[in-house]
């Protein structure tokens, strides 16, 4: 969440302009009204507390002299009633201010381009040349039809739409991709591999910004009297590891990676990418998370994005890096790079990784801190990125490495993970 002082003490018009660029109309008058009432009630509360203390001392002195204190006691009782009312109202206002703050997205960095949607994103660079095919291109769904290696029909029987069953060599290739990514990030890039819970509590979801604003996009379940959520990404538990912690600055940056199932209701994306594995309710991802000093976070974003790019380059998949505009960034992000991989069947680049610097936005919710040189606790910066989405990587490999007979050549870096297999979905298998 944003620093409350930004909305209370500084000129809110500055924040309003930046947030408007993110598609949010900030109701400045409502915020100012709440703050004005808070200040007024707080002043009156302090006055009542002082009056109560003064009159209480007067009662003690009067009693010592044997004087009648009934009038003073009645006055103190009146102060107590009003004080209770003021304190109750103050709590309501503070809750309203906190609730409002939890609905406000992060402020974009100064170098983030202004824009409304993905059409206003800025291309930074490209790698690789899309392959030229001398035969009719199949999409990943048609390629996976052989021996029902990719089976949406059975998945629909089991769970409903936007689920997939993978079989045989295709399931193994999917697993190989995840193992390959984990090895690259843990061995080559120095991220510590972590195995995290897939079910978390509401506090954990709020810490990274999924709650309260995006509850409709989450899968929830009731365990006894407690509500729990299936994670939409392992960013959630990984980042929350430092919740309510003061991390030793000498250990920073703290870099973590995890391979996990991810679950998203995708409440607002009806009709988009319903065919195949592009947009699923359940998918797998290798996540990258970095917990950093404020002075480190800019470099960490570049390093993290480069780590994700390395995966695509080793797989030989053409991609481009995009700097997202203000209107296309995620709720908690201050700056985001998307990596988009080339999909031959669509003739376009599609997102496969998103790497974001959230600065202190999540850390303020998490109360994740370090001690600065003066020994004073200070908020950390948090970053997260896909390193990459396993299902979409599978889609990209199938389509970019397809052959005329419908078989798919296994990228060289994955052959050791496939037990030496160099081709899948071959005729007769």
Question: Over the stretch 418-427, which tens digit does the pLDDT of each residue have?
Answer: 999 999 999 7
263 has a pLDDT exceeding 90: yes
**b/e map 269-278, b = 16+ CB within 10 Å:** eeeeeeebbb
Quick: pLDDT tens for 324-345: 999 999 999 999 999 999 999 9
Quick: pLDDT tens for 362-413: 999 999 999 999 999 999 999 999 999 999 999 999 999 999 999 999 999 9
Structural contact between residues 141 and 125, judged by C-beta atoms closer than 8 angstroms = no
52 catalytic? Reply is no
354 catalytic? Reply is yes
Among residues 22, 52, 55, 264, the one annotated as catalytic is 264
What is the average per-residue pLDDT within 55-72? Answer: 81
Among residues 284, 340, 392, 399, the one annotated as catalytic is 392
269 is an annotated ligand-binding site residue: no
Among residues 44, 279, 320, 350, the one annotated as catalytic is 279
Tokens 């999924």 sit on residue: 210
What is the average per-residue pLDDT within 57-64? Answer: 82
94 catalytic? Reply is no
351 is an annotated ligand-binding site residue: yes
18 has a pLDDT exceeding 50: yes
Q: List the single range of 66-80, 131-145, 358-372 with lowest mean pLDDT.
A: 66-80
> Residue 301: which residues within 8 A CB-CB, separation 6 or more?
335, 337, 355, 356, 357, 383
200 has a pLDDT exceeding 90: yes
- Per-residue pLDDT band at 89 (split at 50, 70, 90): very high
Range 44-47 contact pairs with CB under 8 angstroms and sequence separation of 24 or more: 44/86, 45/83, 45/86, 45/87, 45/90
354 is an annotated ligand-binding site residue: yes
User: Sheet of 122-127: strands edge to edge?
Assistant: 122-127, 319-323, 335-343, 348-359, 381-389, 282-292, 254-263, 192-193
Structural contact between residues 337 and 355, judged by C-beta atoms closer than 8 angstroms = yes
Quick: pLDDT tens for 273-307: 778 999 999 999 999 999 999 999 999 999 999 99
66 has a pLDDT exceeding 60: yes
Structural contact between residues 238 and 194, judged by C-beta atoms closer than 8 angstroms = yes
264 catalytic? Reply is yes
Question: What is the CB neighbour count within 10 angstroms for residue 367?
Answer: 15
265 is an annotated ligand-binding site residue: yes
Please state the pTM of the whole predicted model: 0.90
Question: What is the CB neighbour count within 10 angstroms for residue 400?
Answer: 24
Among residues 354, 356, 364, 369, the one annotated as catalytic is 354
235 is an annotated ligand-binding site residue: yes
> What proportion of the chain, given as a percentage, has pLDDT over 90?
76
Q: Give the 3-state secondary structure of the chain.
A: CCCHHHHHCCCHHHHHHHHHCCCCCCCHHHHHHHHHHHHHHHHHHHHHHHHHHHHHHHHHHHHHCCCCCHHHHHHHHHHHHHHHHHHHHHHHHHHHHHHHHHCCCCCCCCCCCCCCCHHHCEEEEEECCCCCCCCCCCCHHHHCCHHHCEEHHHHHHHCCCCCCEECHHHHHHHHHHHHHHHHHHHHHCCCEECCCCCEECHHHHHHHCCCCCCHHHCEEEEECCEEEEECCCCHHHHHHCCCCCEECHHHCCEEEEEEEEEECCCCCCCCCCCCCCCCCCEEEEEEEEEEECCCCHHHHHHHHHHHHHHHHHHHCCCEEEEECCCCCCCCCCCEEEEEEEEECCCCEEEEEEEEEEEECHHHHHHCCEEECCCCCEEECEEEEEEEEEHHHHHHHHHHHCECCCCCEECCHHHHHHHCCCCEECCCCC
203 catalytic? Reply is no
What is the average per-residue pLDDT within 168-195? Answer: 98
Distance CA 235, CA 258 (A): 9
pLDDT of residue 345: 97
What is the average per-residue pLDDT within 218-222? Answer: 97
- Per-residue pLDDT band at 80 (split at 50, 70, 90): confident
Average pLDDT for the chain: 93
Quick: pLDDT tens for 38-54: 989 989 888 888 888 88
287 is an annotated ligand-binding site residue: yes
72 has a pLDDT exceeding 60: yes
Tokens of 24: 């949010």
Q: Greater confidence, 211 or 273?
A: 211
pLDDT of residue 267: 60
- Per-residue pLDDT band at 429 (split at 50, 70, 90): very low
Q: List the single range of 12-21, 120-129, 249-258 with lowest mean pLDDT.
A: 12-21
pLDDT of residue 79: 80
Tokens 């989450």 sit on residue: 218
């Amino acid at each position: 969440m944003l620093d409350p002082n930004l909305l209370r003490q500084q000129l809110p018009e500055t924040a309003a302009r930046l947030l408007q660029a993110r598609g949010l109309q900030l109701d400045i008058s409502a915020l100012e009204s709440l703050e004005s009432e808070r200040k007024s009630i707080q002043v009156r509360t302090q006055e009542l507390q002082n009056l109560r203390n003064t009159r209480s001392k007067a009662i003690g002195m009067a009693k010592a002299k044997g004087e009648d204190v009934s009038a003073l006691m009645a006055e103190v009782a009146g102060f107590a009633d009003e004080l209770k009312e003021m304190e109750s109202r103050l709590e309501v206002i503070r809750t309203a201010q906190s609730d409002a703050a939890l609905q406000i997205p992060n402020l974009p960095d100064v170098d983030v381009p202004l824009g409304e949607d993905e059409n206003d994103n800025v291309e930074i660079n490209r790698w690789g040349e899309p392959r030229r095919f001398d035969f009719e291109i199949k999409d990943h769904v048609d390629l996976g039809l052989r021996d029902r290696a990719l089976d949406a029909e059975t998945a629909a029987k089991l769970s409903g739409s936007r689920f997939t069953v993978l079989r045989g060599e295709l399931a193994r290739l999917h697993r190989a991709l995840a193992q390959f990514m984990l090895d690259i990030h843990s061995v080559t890039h120095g991220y510590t591999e972590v195995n995290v819970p897939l079910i978390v509590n509401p506090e954990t979801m709020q810490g990274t910004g999924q709650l309260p604003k995006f509850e409709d996009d989450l899968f929830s379940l009731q365990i006894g009297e407690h509500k729990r959520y299936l994670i939409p990404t392992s960013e959630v538990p990984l980042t929350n590891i430092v919740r309510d912690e003061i991390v030793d600055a000498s250990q920073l940056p703290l870099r973590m990676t995890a391979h996990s199932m991810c679950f998203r209701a995708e409440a607002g994306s009806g009709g988009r990418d319903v065919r195949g594995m592009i947009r699923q309710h359940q998918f797998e991802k290798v996540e990258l998370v970095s917990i950093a000093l404020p002075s480190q976070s800019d470099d960490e974003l570049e390093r993290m994005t480069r780590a994700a790019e390395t995966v695509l380059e080793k797989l030989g998949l053409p991609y481009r890096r995009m700097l997202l505009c203000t209107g296309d960034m995620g709720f908690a992000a201050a700056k985001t790079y998307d990596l988009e991989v080339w999909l031959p069947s669509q003739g376009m680049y599609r997102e496969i990784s998103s790497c974001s610097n959230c600065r202190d936005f999540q850390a303020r919710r998490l109360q994740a801190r370090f001690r600065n040189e003066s020994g004073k606790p200070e908020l950390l910066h948090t970053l997260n990125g896909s390193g990459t989405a396993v299902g979409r990587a599978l889609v990209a490999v199938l389509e970019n490495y397809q052959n005329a007979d419908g078989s798919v050549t296994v990228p060289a870096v994955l052959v050791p993970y496939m037990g030496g297999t160099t081709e899948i979905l071959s005729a007769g298998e």
